[in-house]
Structure 1
Amino acid sequence: MTGHQALSWRVRPEAPTAAVLVLHGGQETNERAPGPVNLPGLRMRGFVRAVARETAGAQVAVGVVRYRHRGWNGSRADAARDAAAALNDLAEELGPVPTVLIGHSMGGRAALRAAGHPSVTGVVALAPWCPESDPAGQLDGRTLLTLHSDADKVTDPGATRRFAAQARAAGAHVAGYTVHGSDHALLRRSRDWHHATAHLTGGLLGLRPLPTEVTTALTLAPTSPDGLDLPLPRRG
């Protein structure tokens, strides 16, 4: 990681008491560095703005993870390594503040993989890439909230539900939403994606109550299959 700054702040209060890190998507294999016009990163700007509004005045730092490479790149798991490096930088700068990770697609996979970091208390995974071989034990004691479109043609919503069940069995507190009529790029129903992610993040940080259906799902038994396919309400 020499010479690479993995963490970039978007909101940085003087004395933060909590933090949110946003991780954008990428590709399965690509060793090139992200360019100045990085569509996956641009896609997450709406989420950063929504979270900044949700946490305004609450002394919450909001940052983004900067990748060295566009791809995951097999066993190298480059995006997960960058997420871990950003979390280490965060802890060194802010101390052990509770941190929520928000990740889309490859960024969702990286967030799930990095969730074992001592600072991480929760993950909001947006259309995450969840290969069957990925571990879930690192989420023990954390809260995992997933959102996935039923019409996603890039990552599999069924794989997300399977991973969520494995995480619950491993000791995580889990709830999952299905975003009906959306897509992998988070463009259709974008306001619903932004609103839900910001409000769920606020709930994980203790700034607002979580929705009743989420609170119920988080208390279910480790073997329960329920609460992983909740319909995300439409705004307006």
Structure 2
Amino acid sequence: MRQRTPAAREARLGRAVGVERGTVGGVVLLLPGGEPYSGRGPSPLAAAGVRDLARSLARAGSADALVAHVVRYRSRGWNGEDAGLARDAEWAVDEVVRRYGDVPVCLVGVGMGGRAALRAAGHAGVGAVLALAPWLPEDGRGCEPEPVRQLTGRTVMIVHGTNDLRVDPELSFRFAARAKKGHRDICRFEVHTDGHGLRQHRAEVLALAGDFVRGALFGHPYARPVVDALAAPPPLGLRMPLAAGFGSRRSK
């Protein structure tokens, strides 16, 4: 059954992480996970789960005055055609423009938030998308595949653990393969033996995320594995292994 978000609840941005004063150079919006159907308010646990990522990205982009915000959804449910999390992500980009003006924006989503980030990429204010273990369902019963046209003109990275038992990593690969046909600036990294939370290789994932955001938003040179992944044809650039120790010795 289709469930709608209670009208009285509004989306909002969490406290800014990063620049405390002066001009903001760019913004990362963190989109936590959610639930397929729910009218309940946003999950504090899901929001807490992306705060470490927000702090890590703000540190990585500190020289460029990067600010990170965690998006507080109206409801934790995707809710079918309502696609509530994606609509809240679009609202968040509007709010960034209202607060900071015309600054580069990257959507960073985890799990269901990854789907929201990819869906909301068509917003004119979005320049890049990073989706970690994105929830991209295909139920085999007439479920429409996720659109990819909105990714045109955006730089996109997907990161997925090969041992993810909650969200099938092959679904994100198939999505990336469809998107790559008409959109060259997309790559996908596989974190071997890691699960949905990408905890086993957390340091490497955080380093990869920081490298991508700095390059996509501010034009800094990407680490060599990212350059190779973006340039390689499918399936090579969509099954790029995240090497142990990534970030500890950045390849040029």
TM-score relative to the length of structure 2? 0.85
Q: Secondary structure at the match of 2:218?
A: coil
Other-structure match for 1:21: 29
Other-structure match for 2:166: 154
Which moved further from structure 2: 91-100 or 79-88? Answer: 91-100
Does residue 1:168 correspond to 2:180, yes or no? yes
Other-structure match for 1:44: 50
* Partner Cα separation in structure 2 for residue 34 and residue 139 of structure 1: 26
* Partner Cα separation in structure 2 for residue 214 and residue 198 of structure 1: 12
Structure 2 gap ranges (5+): 1-6, 139-144
Other-structure match for 1:10: 17
* Partner Cα separation in structure 2 for residue 75 and residue 47 of structure 1: 29
Structure 1 gap ranges (5+): none
Q: Secondary structure at the match of 2:70?
A: strand
Aligned residues: 232
Which moved further from structure 2: 167-176 or 142-151? Answer: 167-176
Q: Is the CA contact (8 Å cut-off) linking 2:41 and 2:76 kept in structure 1?
A: yes
* Partner Cα separation in structure 2 for residue 128 and residue 81 of structure 1: 17
Q: Deviations over 1:168-214 (max 9, x none)?
A: 22325111110112111232222222222122212212363212232
Other-structure match for 1:93: 99
Of the candidates 115, 122, 147, which is equivalent to residue 121 of structure 2? 115
Q: Deviations over 1:44-100 (max 9, x none)?
A: 121111111101131222111111111211111110011010011111221221111
* Partner Cα separation in structure 2 for residue 229 and residue 4 of structure 1: 38
Q: Is the CA contact (8 Å cut-off) linking 1:126 and 1:146 kept in structure 2?
A: yes
Structure 1 segment 182-221 matched on structure 2, within 5 A: 182-206=194-218, 208-220=220-232
Q: How far has the Cα of 1:3 moved from its partner?
A: 6.1
* Partner Cα separation in structure 2 for residue 177 and residue 165 of structure 1: 13
Q: How far has the Cα of 1:227 moved from its partner?
A: 0.4
| RMSD, aligned CA | 1.9
TM-score relative to the length of structure 1? 0.91
Of the candidates 151, 176, 180, which is equivalent to residue 139 of structure 1? 151
Which moved further from structure 2: 62-71 or 81-90? Answer: 62-71
Q: Percent identity?
A: 37
Q: Is the CA contact (8 Å cut-off) linking 1:139 and 1:172 kept in structure 2?
A: no
Which is higher, the Rg of structure 1 or of structure 2? 2
Runs of 4+ in 1 over 4 A off after TM superposition: none
* Partner Cα separation in structure 2 for residue 17 and residue 190 of structure 1: 26
* Partner Cα separation in structure 1 for residue 154 and residue 60 of structure 2: 21
Q: Is the CA contact (8 Å cut-off) linking 2:9 and 2:74 kept in structure 1?
A: no
Does residue 1:229 correspond to 2:239, yes or no? yes
Q: Secondary structure at the match of 2:64?
A: coil
Does residue 1:129 correspond to 2:141, yes or no? no
